Structures are given as structure tokens and as C-alpha cells.
Amino acid sequence: MGKVIITGASGSIGRVVTKEMLLRGHDVVMACRNLDKARKVLDTIARQILREDPDGAVGLASRVEIIRLDLEDSTSIRSFVDSLKGCDVSALFNNAGMINKEFELNSDGVERTMAVNFIGPKMLTELLLPQLEDGAHVVSMVSLASRFGRSDRARFSQIGAYADSKLALLRWAADFGTSNPQFRVNVCDPGIVNSNIIRLGRWFDPLTDIFFRPFISSPEKGARSALRALTEDVTMRWFTPRRVLDLNDWR
């Protein structure tokens, strides 16, 4: 059984999925930009597993790798893939994402939100193709915002850039799954989750924390659609908190 790669594994959804995949006996690669944060998250996960399933904690250190990955940097992506040469991959979870407040370009000249949410995951997946096992799960995190995305947006907006990037990822996943029937290609949507991604760096963030955040889903609930996409024996599906859609509709 190959490794399970989880990008953004130190984030809210990523840490829940990391823990659950370890409990199911998988070897996991935590692909994170901030290594110090990732190590602290792994320590927390290890303590949780030790409490919940002491047998599952046996040999845990040998089943987890933390490798740096910055999805807005093509050099970092290539370095990450090079570090895994010779390793089989049974699942790839393109989970990392961002909502950038202002219009900014990365070192490759790509708008940062689009780079992290679409260009980076696409490049990572395609570079890992030779190492993906037959039947490997390739899962990408999309969003309800995908429905509001456009391919011809003339002016930058924070939410618009996020929606556009998630629509691009959704359409690419549909094409990728059609072209690669040997894999289980699915996308997932966690719903609105209590995580840092809903902080937009705006004046109303404190009000959101008081009046909105207490009523949205926990990361544990939000991760359920991702876990279904990573474990069920299906392909070309869009898992949402309430239903499963056909990914073919977005080709």
C-alpha cells in the first residue's frame, strides 16, 4: 500500500484527515509550507491517537513524514516530488488553499490565490502521475463558491479570485478523471467550516467570530466528505456534506 499525501495537513481539515488516515493504517506524508506548525500538529495528533487507540499509536513515528511544500512556488513543488522518487502513492489529497486579500503575483507571475488553489495542485498531481498506483484516489478540495466562479473575470476581487480558482480546479478534476480512468478521481466540499480560511482580513472578521463562527461546522464534520472521497470505491463524484453529485456535469 502506497503513501497518502495530504497537502495543507496542518490546517483544520488537513489535520483531521491526517489523523483518520493514520488510524486506518495508512502511511501519511504531511505536505506543509510551515514545518514548525506541522510538527506541533503532528504532536497533537499523536497524543489524540494514543488516547483513542493505543494500538494505533504503535510505530506512528515511522508512518508519518513531514515534507515542505509551497504550492505557489513551482520550484518547491518539483523539490517535493523529487523527495518522493521511488515511493508509490495510493492517495493524493489536494487540500491546501488560500484566499488572498489583495492582488499579488507569485514568483512565477501568477495571481497567488489561483496559484495555490489550482495551478499548484494541478502541477503536483501531474508530476506525481508516474508514482500513482492503479486505483489511487486523487481528491481535490473544492467549494460551493465554485458555482460563482468565472473564467473571464476582468477585475480582481478577494472572493471572486477564490471562486474562480475553485471552479478551475473543479473543471480540471473532471477532465483529469475522464482522461485517467485507472484512478479514483473525486472532489469534496466541506461546507462552511470553523477554520482560518473564513478570515478575510477585513474589518468584520471580529463580528464573524462572534455571530457566525459558533454556528458553522466543526473541522471534524467538514472532513467527512473528504474522507468519503478518499476511501469509497467510486470515481468522478463530488462529495458535499448533504449529497453526492456527478463530476461529469462539470467537464
Look up residue 142 and give its three cell numbers: 473544492
Domain assignment of residue 34, yes or no? yes
Q: What is the pLDDT of residue 203?
A: 38
pLDDT tens per residue across all 251 residues of the chain: 899 999 999 999 999 999 999 999 999 999 999 999 999 999 999 999 988 878 767 788 889 999 999 999 999 999 999 999 999 999 999 999 999 888 999 988 999 999 999 999 999 999 999 999 999 999 999 988 888 888 878 788 888 999 999 999 999 999 999 999 999 999 999 877 665 554 445 434 443 443 334 435 688 898 999 999 999 999 999 999 889 999 998 87
Q: What pLDDT shows up at residue 142?
A: 95
The predicted model scores a pTM of 0.89
Would you say residue 144 lies in a domain? yes
Question: What is the per-residue pLDDT for 127?
Answer: 98
Burial annotation 211-223 (CB, 10 A radius, 16+ → b, else e): eebeeebebeebb
Closest CA to 13 of 230, 205, 224: 224
**Residue 181, SS3?**
coil
The parent domain of residue 229 ranges over: 3-192+221-250
Count up the domains in the chain and report the number. Answer: 1
| pLDDT (0 to 100) of residue 213 | 42
Q: Residue 92 in contact with residue 136, Cβ under 8 Å?
A: yes
The residues that bridge with 246 in the sheet, in sequence order, are 237
Residue-level pLDDT at 146: 83
Would you say residue 203 lies in a domain? Answer: no
Residue 103 lies in a domain: yes
| CATH number, position 73 | 3.40.50.720
Whether residue 82 is contained in a domain is answered as: yes
Q: Do the domain assignments include residue 246?
A: yes
* 202 domain-assigned: no
At residue 217, the 3 state secondary structure works out as strand
